[in-house]
A and B are shown apart, each in its own frame.
Chain A
Amino acid sequence: AQSVTQPDIHITVSEGASLELRCNYSYGATPYLFWYVQSPGQGLQLLLKYFSGDTLVQGIKGFEAEFKRSQSSFNLRKPSVHWSDAAEYFCAVGAPQAAGNKLTFGGGTRVLVKP
């Protein structure tokens, strides 16, 4: 069975500083990987996804993620954080079902942005 671990429950970063969120996955086949962001009381917004090809993936809001098969990781990065990036971030791995992916999520990382 697939699983996702996000080792950092909380991260505090100063506005303008860089951000890296860690994600490790366990999956027996080629993984489909996703990062979602959730603002308080809201649903999930897709930041980026990896299916195949270039292991460095660009997403929305200036985020990027790098797939490293040897480390079973898919870490999310942003060079310069804005106050509006304060939210909870979820990494997910997709396992194909009969009609699409079943997503398994990590426990999330809450990002706090200091002025």
Chain B
Amino acid sequence: ETGVTQSPTHLIKTRGQQVTLRCSSQSGHNTVSWYQQALGQGPQFIFQYYREEENGRGNFPPRFSGLQFPNYSSELNVNALELDDSALYLCASSLFAGQGTDTQYFGPGTRLTVL
């Protein structure tokens, strides 16, 4: 069974640039959630994707957007990068089967640094 993988591992960008982060979900999972973890803090929910549509969003501006593909992999896109976007971005996959008792399994994260 393959776990959740993310790429790249590390990324350095400058203010105003755009970035795309990628996530492959665990085998058998159909839902992907993205979280932002700033240094010294707990992860914060960005949004969740199911059946290639956004289902649930946290308190993040529209310049944070995403995609989910037919194979359940996902991308997180951030436009007009700001210094405060520097963080560890975590992807989590889960199996939604019509109940709320799903469990999210996390990837290793992508460390984004904005200069």
Contacts and interface: CB of A to CB of B under 8 A. Distances in A.
A101 B35 CA distance: 13
Interface residues of B, number: 31
Interface in A29-74: 32, 34, 36, 41-46, 49, 51
Nearest to A97: B56
Interface in B3-30: 4, 6
Given A42-B108, A43-B109, A51-B101, A100 B48 contact: yes
Chain A CB within 10 Å, residue with most, of B35, B44, B56? B56
Given A51-B101, A101-B102, A43 B108 contact: yes
Contacts of A100: 31, 33, 48, 50, 55, 94, 96, 100, 102, 104
A52 B26 CA distance: 25
Interface of A: 4, 32, 34, 36, 41-46, 49, 51, 90, 92, 94, 96-108
Interface of B: 4, 6, 31, 33, 35, 41-45, 48, 50-51, 55-56, 58, 90, 92, 94, 96, 100-109, 111
